[in-house]
Structure 1
Amino acid sequence: MRAIGALLACLTVLGASACATVPEESQARVISSGGMAPPAPPVPEPEKDLDALGVVREFVEASAQPNNDNARARVFLDPPSKATWRPDRGLTVMEEKFDTVYAPQQPADENRRIVLLRGTNVGKLGPDSAFIPLSGGFEQPVQLARQPDGQWRIVSPANNVVITEPDFTRNYFRVPVYFFASDRNALVPDLRYVVQKPQSGLPGRVIDLLLAGPSDFLDGAVNNPLGEQAAIEQNVAGGPDGVVTVPLTGVGEQSEEQKLLIAAQVVRSLQSVTSSRIRLLSDGVSLVPGREEWRASDIPSYETAASPGSDLHGLMVSGGRVRSLSDGAPIPGPAGARAYDVVTAAQSLDGRQLAVVERENGRLWLRVGEFGHELARTELSGDRLSRPTWRPALPGPGGGGELWTVVDGSQVVRVLRTAQGTWASQVVNADTVRSLGADISAIRLSRDGTRVAMVMAGNLVVASVVRTADSVILRSPRMLQAERLRNVKDVDWASQDSLVAITDSASLPVVRVPVDGLRLDQFNLSNLTPPLHAITAAPSRPVVVADVEGLWTASEVGEVWSPHDHSIPGDAIPFYPG
């Protein structure tokens, strides 16, 4: 059992400067900060003479504030339930509009009522404080009894708490908690949600999540340098010197290299909830010898391992050859000279290798090799091959040696460089993914290698990538924005935790979606000519989309699309490295 199970996290009030970047109205859920918290103010009783339907509606609203053992919601329960109710650590999030109606069959006792709570799912917050998207409607019966004073109260409430999406947004704050890719020093954000109030408790709640380990979605896909023995020795606390102290224990035996990774984890995870310096202790002394206090700027830029270099401007396929996005000219070597009839292509994250899908005699083949040189034809072919996607290069010599594609819409295949310098295919275990759809038309590995985004039967799906000694497995597939995103055509990673996608819809052609699918942001429609047929994105790069008129770029959701400097009308397919 993880050390977090025994943890009590409580925070003293931080100085005003410590909360400069903290939202006015946000908080966390999973592990409450108790102990030294001030006494909770009394909770007002419900409005007098509310009917049973009104009691249920206000109970839903009050359930969005879980502070002080759900005190706001407990006032709507009868006395026995008020004392015994133990809500689950997760909750269900539904759309803002919901119904409360009397069930068709009511108890014979006129002092008893059954109300049906009906809504449309948005998702659920799991026990690990990660959001899981859901779709479809739900119905939950709620039993009520008239009390001796004539007031209706809920009896035997369900442990599953249900709240609306606006209330969830008002009361919960999204924080990226950081772990590392399993085989390289690349920080990976794990999106979680914490109750916003009290704001002084935000750093402690984030540390609770960090100590508890990665979310179920990323479990097995990332590495946690803190380890399972790590715990908090005392309260996470903000002091009068404007420093937040994180007093760890259980990490003293870690190597100095591991301690530096732990420092990166903690400081980066806290930067979204405090601007204060972070004092990192291990059993009362500095976690990293010679350095006690840290700011985010003191942490190396581990994200560079998951982002293309600034000298790599991107490429495009047009007219059967590969061209540069920076000047529109064909790239050096056979791929740019139209020695192959190139249908689509992908450049490795370090820029050193190129994979192309070529058409020959009505069939598609995969070629791979060094950028600017002859590309070796692999054994992989099919009637359809999706645009390849590269796994990030491993540390040390050899560079990137693995790329993925989908053969004929059904088989996810990774192609690896052998010791002899050839390329061999291996099927990826995607059994859990195929249960969501029969046809995979696009696939993109995240540039840190821990997640994969796919277009499956027109739906946007993400899954985690778990590697064992002899296989790779796709786990925990999730369909994002299933009710709104239909007929998706292409997808790419805008950042480590957000995606951009195109659809064949004239009203929703380009969207941005976080990797957990909680929201959907629509890009400006101006200047685009739907349907679009390709999209590419990368951290700190403009999004590039392709329509029949050519290539268009935009850096922000609301920005008007501008023609690309080297736009080519027709079938151009742009792509950044990765």
Structure 2
Amino acid sequence: MGGRAARCLAVLSVLLVPLTSCASIPEESDPVAVREADERNTTTEVTPPPDNLDPLALVRRFVDSASPASNHEAARMHLDAVQAKQWSPGPDLLIVSNVDTIPAPPPPEPLPDGVQLVTVQADKVGRLLPDSSFVPDVGEYEATVRVELQPDGKWRISSPPAEMVVSRDAFSSVYRSVPIYFLDHDATGVVPDVRYVASQPASTLPRRVIDLLTSGPSEGLRSALRTAIPPGVRPRTNTSEATGDGALEVNLSNLGDVSDETRWLIAAQVVFTLQKVSNARVRLQEEGMPLLSDTQDLRPTDLTKYEIDNMPRQDLGGLAVIDERLKRLDSRADPVPGPAGSGEYQVIRAGQSPDGRKIAAVTRRSPEEVGLRVGPYGEALAELGPPGSFMSKPTWRGNNEVWTVVAGRDVIRARSSGSGWTVEKVDSAGFTGGRPITDLRLSRDGTRVAAVIDGQLVVGAVSDQDGAVVLDRPVPLPAPQRAQILGLEWRDEESLAVITDSHTSPVYEVSVDGFRWEAYTSANLGQPMKTITVGPGPTVIVADRSNIWASADPNDVWSLLEPRIGSSSLPFFPG
């Protein structure tokens, strides 16, 4: 019996006030992207609690009242007349799972007739912040609320929690995730910043999403992302379908003196942001006039030049380190040209640039020391410093910059210029907190970092500050059942794939904010899990104790990738 259930029975056994028994709410579903202030003023139909609810059921229903519409009207209907007017929860929304409502222990002084105390017990999942982004939270949640019988015979809450608390199921049924698109560190392409907004009313969803866009990146990514939209620019009119032709009109306020290229970047941010909430063409305007001089209506397919390719190139295939040589990841497993494939270098692990033209390899210098080599594919690789006892698998930021972790402690990056490669240390002290890093991967857009730090998955921002690069805004993503993370790779722009030490769930797909952990089937896999990579598709590829396996979906059975390439090999794809 679980700890919460045991506590529930213990309390029930001593209570003198007759109440209904404990109840748990199973919560496994995921959300199906506008600032809370905007949501408060929207109106949707709200159903009041049934007349015959007892105190435990009333409080459970209160925790299931996730809609923010009309200043949390759905939740206020569970409160008495005074609290319905006065209750002012904070700006955060606490999301919980495994909810129990149980009778609270009797207080020292007897309660008046018609008054009962109910304790809410749950596990924290995370918080929806005022900017509509999600951050994980852990630990147990417990609060005691006072419920009073009203003159009309209905039970109502007279002392609600100080913060808005909702069950994960209720949150998932009301909110949906929407990527809001900003610019990468080079301001050349668009990058998603995932937010959560109420799905209803659907008619105002496009406007609420554009409000998030014009407000700028979320707090956790503000130092890493850019925006082409000048400060203070807001929608002049409601974002809605134009009369007659079905296009979605976005009419922005005056942009000021901005270049044509900036206008196209703004168009890309707006159009890609709206693609998840509307299938309509987007008509962009500035003060009622066309935003772009040579076009009027746009779809994402019109702006593909601003879309960053977050998948490995299909035409390049994969590579693998096999017996300390670099080989092609195919049925023949031919060595790549040059010393990395011939065995002249003792290759421990390696990475290929996104365009396939460069190789970074961690090579053995002595039994106790390894070093980093970088250079053109198929040619000699220049040895760069500093050496160390361990180096993580190289990860690329564009085609001319590669990173690795030395001795589990120092993050370094090597950059190519006309005169060769230069190596510098990355400021990661605030990101790691001094704990050891065993794996580190940059997102293919170069704005995020994900790492295995002391067995935990941590994501953060890659910030360019005065010419230096800083890893900051670390957010731990706690794994289910306290599993230890062994390795990771970016699955796509909004999710990661990780391997763990769990026998029941050795592989997960994880949303970049940690809200969703979806386990791959464990069929065919056996611990220990050794490595993970992601190929085109995306296809997740893992090496376990005996073989290399591939799966395109968490619900698929793992298939053997290539029988002649054993589990001792380390496969990887460009990026």
State TM-score, norm by structure 2: 0.88
Structure 1 counterpart of 2:186, from 159, 183, 186: 183
**Preserved CA contact (<8 Å) 1:389 1:405:** yes
Q: Given the alignment, which residue of 434, 450, 462 partners 1:453? A: 450
Which residue number in structure 1 is paired with residue 120 of structure 2? 117
The secondary structure found in structure 1 opposite 2:61 is helix
Give the gaps of 5 or more residues in structure 2: 1-30
Could you tell which deviates more after superposition, 281-290 or 536-545?
Answer: 536-545
Q: Distance in 2 between matches of 1:424 and 1:277?
A: 46
Partner of 1:379: 385
Q: Which residue of structure 2 aligns with residue 341 of structure 1?
A: 346
1:288 lines up with 2:292 in the alignment: yes
Q: Structure 2 vs 1, CA of residues 467 and 518 (structure 1 numbering), >3 Å: closer, same or farther?
A: same
**Corresponding residue number in structure 2 for 1:55:** 58
- The DSSP-based 3-state class of the residue aligned with 2:361 is strand
With over 3 angstroms needed to count, the CA separation of the structure-2 counterparts of 1:319 and 1:235, relative to structure 1, is: same
Out of 74-83 and 440-449, give the one that drifted further: 74-83
From 384, 388, 396, the counterpart of 1:390: 396
Query: Contact 1:441 / 1:455 at 8 angstroms: preserved in 2?
Result: yes
Greater CA deviation, 156-165 or 373-382?
A: 156-165
Residues 34 and 526 (structure 1 numbering): CA distance in 2 closer, same or farther, change over 3 Å? closer
Instruction: Give yes or no for contact 1:118–1:137 (8 Å, CA) kept in 2.
Output: yes
Paired residue for 1:13? none
Aligned to 2:145: 142
CA distance in 2, matches of 1:382, 1:101: 59
Task: Report what 1:329 is aligned to.
Answer: 334
Higher mean alpha-carbon deviation, 264-273 vs 500-509, is at 500-509
Residues 1:132 and 1:258: Cα distance change in structure 2 (over 3 Å) = same
Structure 1 pair 412/75, CA: closer, same or farther in 2 (3 Å)?
same
User: In structure 1, which of residues 139, 158, 171 is the aligned counterpart of residue 174 of structure 2?
Assistant: 171
Tell me the residue number matched to 1:414. Answer: 413
Which aligned pairs between 1:56-455 and structure 2 lie closer than 5 A?
A: 56-62=59-65, 64-103=66-105, 105=107, 110=112, 113-149=116-152, 151-239=154-242, 240-326=244-330, 327-362=332-367, 363-393=369-399, 400=400, 402-417=401-416, 420-434=419-433, 438-455=435-452
Q: Does 1:526 align with 2:532?
A: no
How far is 1:186 from its partner?
2.5
Residue by residue over 1:73-104, the C-alpha shift from the partner in whole angstroms, topping out at 9 and shown as x without a partner, is: 11222222212323333311111433343155
- Taking structure 1 as reference, are residues 539 and 414 closer, same or farther at Cα in structure 2, changes over 3 Å only? same
Change in 2 beyond 3 A, CA 1:538/1:204: farther
Q: Deviations over 1:381-440 (max 9, x none)?
A: 1111111111113xxxxxx1x2221222222222334663143231323324327xx221
Structure 1 residue 26: Cα displacement: 5.7
Which residue type is aligned with residue 355 of structure 1?
Answer: A
Which residue pairs with 1:489 in the alignment?
486
Greater RCO (CA < 8 Å, at least 6 residues apart): 1
AA partner of residue 375 (structure 1) = L
Give the secondary structure class of the aligned counterpart of 2:307: helix
Provide the C-alpha distance between the structure 1 equivalents of 2:499 and 2:40, rounded to a whole number of angstroms. 46
Measured after TM superposition, the shift of residue 476 of structure 1 is 2.0
TM-superposed deviation, 1:146: 4.3
Q: Alignment partner of 2:263: what SS?
A: helix
**Conserved 8 A contact 2:101-2:118:** no
Aligned position for 1:15: none
Contact 2:396 2:402 in 1 (8 A): yes
Question: What RMSD, in angstroms, separates the aligned Cα atoms of the two structures?
Answer: 2.4
The Cα of 1:295 is off from its aligned counterpart by 1.6
For residue 460 of structure 1, report the CA deviation from its aligned partner.
1.4
Relative to structure 1, the CA distance from residue 451 to residue 238 in structure 2 (aligned partners, 3 Å threshold; closer, same or farther) is same
Question: In 1, Cα distance between the equivalents of 2:170 and 2:234?
Answer: 32
Task: Please tell me whether the aligned partners of residues 264 and 292 of structure 2 are also in contact (alpha carbons under 8 angstroms).
Answer: yes
Q: Which runs of 5+ in 1 are unaligned?
A: 1-24, 394-399
Whole-angstrom distance in 2 between the partners of 1:371 and 1:26: 43
Contact 2:321 2:349 in 1 (8 A): yes
Letter in 1 for 2:191: V
The alignment partner of 2:120 has SS state of strand
How many positions carry a matched residue from both structures? 541
Distance 1:485 1:245 in 2: 47
SS at 1:98 equivalent:
strand
CA apart distance, 1:71: 1.4
The answer as to whether partners of 2:431 and 2:460 remain within 8 angstroms in 1 is no
CA contact (8 A) 1:530 1:547 kept: yes
**Compared CA separation, residues 199 and 27, structure 1 to 2 (3 A):** farther
Contact 2:35 2:130 (8 Å CA) reproduced: no
Other structure's SS at 1:335 match: helix
CA contact (8 A) 1:353 1:369 kept: yes
Deviation at 1:306, TM superposition (A): 4.2
Contact residue 445 and residue 452 of structure 1 kept, 8 A: yes
Whether the 8 Å CA contact 2:375–2:382 is kept in 1: the answer is: yes
Counterpart of 2:236 in structure 1: which amino acid?
A: E
- The DSSP-based 3-state class of the residue aligned with 2:78 is coil
After superposition, the C-alpha distances for 1:125-182 in whole angstroms (9 at most, x for unaligned) are 1111111112221112324444444544323534421111111111111111111102
The verdict on how the C-alpha distance between 1:134 and 1:338 changes in structure 2, with shifts beyond 3 A counting, is same
Q: Distance in 2 between matches of 1:68 and 1:150?
A: 26
Secondary structure of 1:141's match? Answer: strand
Candidates 558, 563, 568, aligned match of 2:565: 568
Cα–Cα, structure 1 residues 181 and 212, in superposed 2: closer, same or farther, change >3 Å? same
SS at the partner of 1:299? helix
- Is the contact between residue 53 and residue 102 of structure 1 (CA under 8 Å) also seen in structure 2? no
Residues 448 and 461 of structure 2 are in contact (CA less than 8 Å); yes or no, is this contact kept in structure 1?
A: yes
Q: Which residue of 1 aligns with 2:8?
A: none
TM-aligned CA distance change 1:101 to 1:224, over 3 Å: farther
Distance 1:517 1:57, change over 3 A: same
Q: Which amino acid aligns with 1:341?
A: Q
Distance, in Å, in 1 between the alignment partners of 2:329 and 2:303 is 33
Tell me the equivalent position of 2:16.
none
1:508 and 2:505 equivalent?
yes
The 1:27/1:552 distance shift into structure 2, 3 A limit, reads closer
Per-residue deviation at 1:107? Answer: 5.8
Distance 1:541 1:81, change over 3 A: closer
Structure 1 counterpart of 2:461 = 464
Aligned to 2:23: none
Shift of 1:252: 4.5
Question: Against the structure 1 CA distance between its residues 303 and 530, is the aligned structure 2 distance closer, same or farther, given a 3 Å change threshold?
Answer: farther
User: Is the alpha carbon distance of 1:356 and 1:347 closer, same or farther for their aligned partners in structure 2, counting shifts above 3 Å?
Assistant: same
Asked whether the equivalents of residues 548 and 567 of structure 2 are also in contact (C-alpha less than 8 Å), the reply is no
Q: Does the 8 A contact of 1:325 with 1:566 survive in 2? A: no
Q: CA deviation at 1:495?
A: 0.5
The amino acid that maps onto 1:332 is: P
d(CA) in 2 for partners of 1:504 and 1:46? 45
Cα distance change, pair 242–56 in 1 and its aligned pair in 2 (3 A): same
Contact 1:495–1:538 under 8 Å retained in 2: no
1:270/1:427 CA distance change after superposition, 3 Å = closer
Q: Report how far residue 199 of structure 1 moved.
A: 1.6
